[in-house]
Amino acid sequence: MPSNKKMASVKKKTPALSGRPTGGLPSLPPLGLEIYDTTLRDGAQSESISFSLEDKLRIAQKLDSLGIHYIEGGWPGSNPKDLLFFKEAEKLKLTSAKIVAFGSTRKAKFKIAEDPTIQSLLHAGTQIVTLFGKSWDLHGKDVLNVSEKKNCELISDSISYLKSKGKIVFYDAEHFFDGFVANPEYAINTLLTAEKAGAQRLILCDTNGGSLPSRIKEIVATVIKTVKTPVGIHTHNDSEMAVANALAAVEAGATHVQGTMNGLGERCGNANLISVIANLQLKMNMRCVSDEQLKRLREVSRFVSEIANISPDKHQPYVGDAAFAHKGGVHVDAIRKNAETYEHIAPEKVGNIRRIVISDYSGRGNILEKAKEFNIPLDSDHPQVKEILWQLKELEHQGFQFEGAEGSLELRMKRALGRHQRFFKLVGFRVIVEKREIDEAPLSEATIVVNVNGELEHTAANGNGPVNALDNALRKALAKFYPSLSEIKLLDYKVRVLAATEGSAAKVRVLSESGDGKIKWGTVGVSENIIEASWQALVDSIEYKLLHDGEAGRASK
């Protein structure tokens, strides 16, 4: 932090400013706690993330449904896709959000009316424009190669010009916190310049993501005492502090928070607005969306992950599958008596659910809760409870894992209680893998014979590999008996070696996820033979589908 002497100097040199000019400008809604989403611009800078035009439009509509106040659509001067987005976004019927265009202050070599970035912001057609400028003297000297006076001129010219064209301007002070620590007078002066030019929000950016909450809170408080314009916060997650820093800024008086869905962003990402919104509303009693919108947090989080083509983070706070999952027997026993014992909020408030996980740490309470979830009538005095528990613990010891395979878990519990019978019997199968040319892919073929209510069915099928061939052959054999199997799609398939020291003879665990367009379910298989382990998971997947479709009677008709 800068010395007390420097801080005092900053406050002493701060000039009194007149109120913001408003003549002829469009108005902003009454200032409350504002949420500003930059998933479509900053989030799209994540490694391996690329949004199409249609992706961006769909995400914008979803963000609007969550109650986001401002959606930063992109940088229209950087690529044709972003410019086209702003044209198409005009057709969106948004109820709460305003679309914002993003760009930089003018370059020193251009006159303001000739600067391509400034002109592209005008062509974007948005009511609100966010400009970023330099607030760290290091960047002024080493990046822009301009003096402090010239840097302030670039800031002032850009904001004044856009205002003269009828735009509302938000000013992003890039690298503000690093700049303040290095040279507080310089950093503050850039803000005062933006304020005097007419910026209607001053957003302080922890661009390198290296600040801690204590520093953020103290600097934001100092800025708020110095300027008259509402102050915002924009944090990055390079120190795993983005959410904490955003909240610290709000505690200090910031009223505008920027971030992205699921924390997407360059390098280590931005402040995760999913967590920011939940913490503001549920922990700090600062209302930023409605209670009904809050219940959509998980839905929106998973939607953005799906559009971005990345797997949702199972352990993401508030909205992840594991956020309210309970595994230890002591925990589950307590949860069954009073959920507050091991849950900091009710999961339903953010659109999530409680999950009871079965593992070798499980107790009787885990079994009873899973039975309730699976609609299996079972009470604590049932003689099978203890037997089911120890069977599952033994299977876990062998390498089975039911945390991601609740389809297999439900089947095993129902079999143990005599509530499920198999839909077919395997007579036998053979899988052949043949490679004919060194440069050609191997050919895989599976032959299978199954018995369905006394009728034998013998089929063969090819596949991209031995497991795919076996899957195809099994479905083909059962198709005429159980037509609904055509709805199943294999969504995920994972193989894990359980004892790597045993090399190619090691036991493996296969976890598969399947879906039929309505629900998804996971199944598991374990064996020293990868085909056998895959077979176990495939059979459970099919039987789970048939069990829930109630197809048992169809095959016998």
The pLDDT confidence band at residue 502, using thresholds 50, 70 and 90, is low
Q: What percent of the chain has pLDDT over 90?
A: 63
pLDDT tens per residue, range 300-340? 998 999 888 888 898 999 999 899 988 777 887 788 888 88
In a domain, 13, yes or no: no
Same domain, 451 and 531: no
Same domain, 245 and 177: yes
Nearest of 6, 31, 51, 324 to residue 180 by alpha carbon: 6
Same domain, 285 and 172: yes
Looking at residue 360, what is its pLDDT?
47
The pLDDT confidence band at residue 419, using thresholds 50, 70 and 90, is confident
Same domain, 474 and 492: no
Same domain, 215 and 265: yes
Same domain, 389 and 446: no
Looking at residue 2, what is its pLDDT?
57
Cα distance between residue 178 and residue 216, in whole Å: 10
The pLDDT confidence band at residue 554, using thresholds 50, 70 and 90, is very low
Residue range 50-78: mean pLDDT, rounded? 93
| Residue 464 pLDDT > 60 | yes
pLDDT tens per residue, range 224-253? 999 999 999 999 999 999 999 999 999 999
In a domain, 2, yes or no: no
In a domain, 454, yes or no: yes
CB-count exposure of residue 56 (10 Å: 0-12, 13-18, 19+): buried
Nearest of 240, 293, 238, 358 to residue 35 by alpha carbon: 293
The pLDDT confidence band at residue 552, using thresholds 50, 70 and 90, is very low
CB-count exposure of residue 43 (10 Å: 0-12, 13-18, 19+): buried
Phi-psi region of 67 (alpha: psi -120 to 50; beta: other; left: phi over 0): left
In a domain, 28, yes or no: no
Looking at residue 401, what is its pLDDT?
75
Residue type, 388: I
Alpha carbon dihedral 175, 181, 184, 186, in 10-degree steps, equals -40
Looking at residue 309, what is its pLDDT?
82
pLDDT tens per residue, range 188-220? 999 999 999 999 999 999 999 999 999 999 999
In a domain, 241, yes or no: yes
Residue 539 belongs to domain with CATH number: 3.30.160.340
Same domain, 75 and 146: yes
Beta bridge partners of 260: 272
Looking at residue 17, what is its pLDDT?
32
Same domain, 436 and 532: no
Cα distance between residue 237 and residue 251, in whole Å: 19
Q: Quote the domain boundaries for residue 374.
A: 325-398
Do 46 and 263 contact (CB within 8 A), yes or no? no
Query: Which of 436, 454, 481 is the last residue in one of the domains?
Result: 481
The pLDDT confidence band at residue 503, using thresholds 50, 70 and 90, is low
Most confident of the ranges 45-59, 213-227, 480-494, 520-534: 213-227
In a domain, 102, yes or no: yes
CB within 8 Å of 172: residues ≥ 6 apart: 130, 131, 132, 133, 203, 205, 234
Residue 433 belongs to domain with CATH number: 3.30.160.740
Same domain, 268 and 175: yes
Looking at residue 36, what is its pLDDT?
98
pLDDT tens per residue, range 115-162? 999 999 999 999 999 999 999 888 777 777 788 899 999 999 999 999
State whether residue 351 is helix, strand or coil.
coil
DSSP H or E segment with residue 71: strand 70-74
Query: Which of 481, 500, 521 is the last residue in one of the domains?
Result: 481
The number of distinct structural domains making up the chain is 4
More confident residue, 274 or 30: 274
Looking at residue 30, what is its pLDDT?
62
Looking at residue 326, what is its pLDDT?
84
Q: How far from 21 is each of 108, 130, 191, 198, 200, CA to CA, in Å?
A: 26, 18, 16, 6, 10
- Structure tokens, 146: 């301009």
DSSP string, 11-60: HHHPPP-PPPP-TTPPPPPPPSSEEEE-TTTTGGGSTT----HHHHHHHH
- pTM for this structure? 0.70
| Residue 20 pLDDT > 60 | no
In a domain, 416, yes or no: no
Residue range 24-33: mean pLDDT, rounded? 64
Q: What percent of the chain has pLDDT over 70?
A: 90
Looking at residue 16, what is its pLDDT?
34
Q: Cα Rg for the chain, rounded, in angstroms?
A: 30
| Residue 557 pLDDT > 70 | no
In a domain, 313, yes or no: no
Residue 199 belongs to domain with CATH number: 3.20.20.70
Looking at residue 397, what is its pLDDT?
76
pLDDT tens per residue, range 352-403? 988 777 654 556 667 777 778 787 777 767 777 777 777 777 887 788 877 6
Same domain, 384 and 439: no
The pLDDT confidence band at residue 18, using thresholds 50, 70 and 90, is very low
Same domain, 535 and 446: no
How far is residue 132 CA from its own chain's centroid? Answer: 26
Same domain, 202 and 70: yes
The pLDDT confidence band at residue 31, using thresholds 50, 70 and 90, is low
Query: Which of 398, 416, 433 is the last residue in one of the domains?
Result: 398
DSSP string, 151-162: HHHHHHHHHHHH
Cα distance between residue 486 and residue 484, in whole Å: 5
